[in-house]
């Protein structure tokens, strides 16, 4: 909380003990889709409930140190592994969603869930994602779903304006569930020289998603659909607002961006270019923002004081970014009493 304003964070990822992810290694090594023990109410072999709860408790402590009251948590994007053998993808998504739901149950006043979908770039459309989406919304009360613009990592997935995506958009409208667009792994061999090179895929795919969604007719077809693109949209536009290279249409009720950008110059430019009304507070805390700012001695994902210090934002602007805008896109925030 800051200045008596409850802070809602739209960009967070599930925290699990490291041993939990050994399940992915086992599935890939055995090439076998394994049923999630959490779906059956059973313990995960080698990982205790107490270890899961401790990972969640450390996550909450991390949020507390950064003035974050409630956070939407979804999958770890670099762990989505959408390039796996297709028969493994649904089992991994189900297990990850079970861990997200478990973390939300541990701290129901601090977390809301967002689903990992079993996306297959080679499927004819997104109908294969709908059963898991419905399970997460109806059984677990999840309030959003994560989507990767290119889960296979080979640039073979249809653009987010194409009919491939329409079954998912239709179902999200029906359920009242916004989509959170976040890049995942890229298998471009040129990237290998860059450490943690999945970040390059994040930038490219998130920027392309914004371009495709804004220039296409998705929101004319699905006017109630709401989409949030992570990391301030990946990259910024270099044209002035009246330039025809940009979509000359009103997207203010449909297309939004989060503030999860740690460079202060980039973040300021993103807020000014996107507009305050389209920006939702997001940090990915804890995640990739652990580098320490020399001038403050605080990690770069400590964004509440950063945004609160921006003199170009009014007090009302800051309330909108921290509270009102996230609540507008995700009304479920209003049901949580931190």
Each residue's pLDDT tens digit, 26-49? 999 999 999 999 999 999 999 999
Q: How many residues make up the chain in this entry?
A: 338
pLDDT for 95-107, tens place per residue?
999 999 999 999 9
Cis peptide bond prior to 286, omega within 30° of 0:
yes
Give the CA count within 13 Å in the CB-facing half-sphere of 97: 30
Pairing of strands 255-258, 144-147: unpaired
Strand partners, 114: 144
| 7 pLDDT higher than 90 | yes
d(CA 306, CA 235): 20
Question: Is residue 143 within 8 Å of residue 133, measured between CB atoms?
Answer: no
d(CA 97, CA 139): 11
What is the token pair recorded at 246?
Answer: 């940009």
Q: What percent of the chain has pLDDT over 70?
A: 100
| 254 pLDDT higher than 90 | yes
288-296 — which CB contacts under 8 Å span 24+ positions?
288/196, 288/199, 289/260, 289/262, 291/262
Domains in the chain, CATH or no CATH each = 8-335 (3.20.20.140)
Q: What is the pLDDT of residue 4?
A: 86
| 1 pLDDT higher than 90 | no
Q: Please give the average per-residue pLDDT across 134-142, as a whole number.
A: 98
- How many CB atoms sit inside 10 A of residue 44's CB? 22
Q: What is the pLDDT of residue 102?
A: 98
| 264 pLDDT higher than 80 | yes
| 281 pLDDT higher than 90 | yes
d(CA 335, CA 215): 35
Q: What is the pLDDT of residue 16?
A: 97
| 170 pLDDT higher than 90 | yes
d(CA 163, CA 158): 8
Q: What is the pLDDT of residue 176?
A: 97
For 298-310, give the DSSP string: SBTT-HHHHHHT-
Mean pLDDT of the chain: 96
Q: Please give the average per-residue pLDDT across 278-301, as a whole number.
A: 96
DSSP E strands in 220-284: the ranges are 227-229, 255-258, 279-280
Q: Which pLDDT band holds residue 320 (cuts at 50, 70, 90)?
A: very high
Phi, psi (degrees; rounded to nearest 5) at 178: -70, 155
């Amino acid at each position: 909380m800051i200045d008596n304003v409850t802070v809602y964070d739209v960009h967070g990822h599930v925290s699990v003990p490291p041993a939990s992810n050994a399940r992915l290694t086992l599935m890939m090594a055995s090439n076998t889709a394994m049923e999630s023990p959490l779906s059956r109410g059973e313990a995960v072999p080698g990982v205790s409930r107490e270890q899961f709860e401790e990972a969640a408790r450390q996550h909450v402590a991390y949020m507390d140190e950064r003035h974050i009251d409630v956070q939407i948590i979804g999958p770890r994007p670099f762990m989505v592994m959408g390039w796996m053998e297709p028969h493994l993808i649904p089992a991994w998504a189900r297990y990850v969603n079970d861990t997200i739901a478990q973390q939300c149950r541990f701290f129901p006043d601090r977390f809301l869930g967002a689903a990992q979908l079993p996306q297959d770039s080679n499927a004819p459309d997104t109908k294969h994602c709908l059963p898991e989406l419905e399970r997460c919304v109806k059984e677990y009360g999840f309030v959003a779903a994560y989507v990767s613009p290119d889960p296979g990592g080979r640039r073979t997935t249809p653009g987010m304006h194409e009919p491939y995506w329409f079954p998912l958009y239709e179902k999200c409208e029906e359920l009242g569930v916004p989509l959170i667009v976040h890049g995942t792994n890229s298998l471009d061999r040129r990237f290998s020289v860059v450490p943690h090179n999945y970040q390059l895929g994040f930038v490219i795919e998130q920027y392309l998603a914004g371009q495709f969604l804004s220039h296409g007719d998705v929101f004319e077809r699905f006017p109630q659909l709401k989409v949030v693109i992570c990391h301030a949209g990946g990259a910024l536009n270099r044209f002035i607002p009246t330039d025809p290279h940009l979509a000359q249409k009103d997207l203010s009720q449909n297309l939004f961006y989060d503030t999860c950008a740690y460079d202060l110059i980039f973040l300021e430019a993103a807020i000014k270019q996107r507009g305050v009304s389209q920006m939702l507070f997001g940090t990915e805390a804890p995640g990739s923002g652990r580098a320490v700012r020399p001038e403050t001695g605080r990690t770069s994902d400590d964004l509440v004081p950063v945004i609160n210090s921006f003199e170009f934002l009014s007090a009302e602007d800051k309330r909108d970014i921290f509270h009102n805008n996230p609540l507008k896109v995700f009304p479920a925030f209003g049901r949580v009493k931190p």
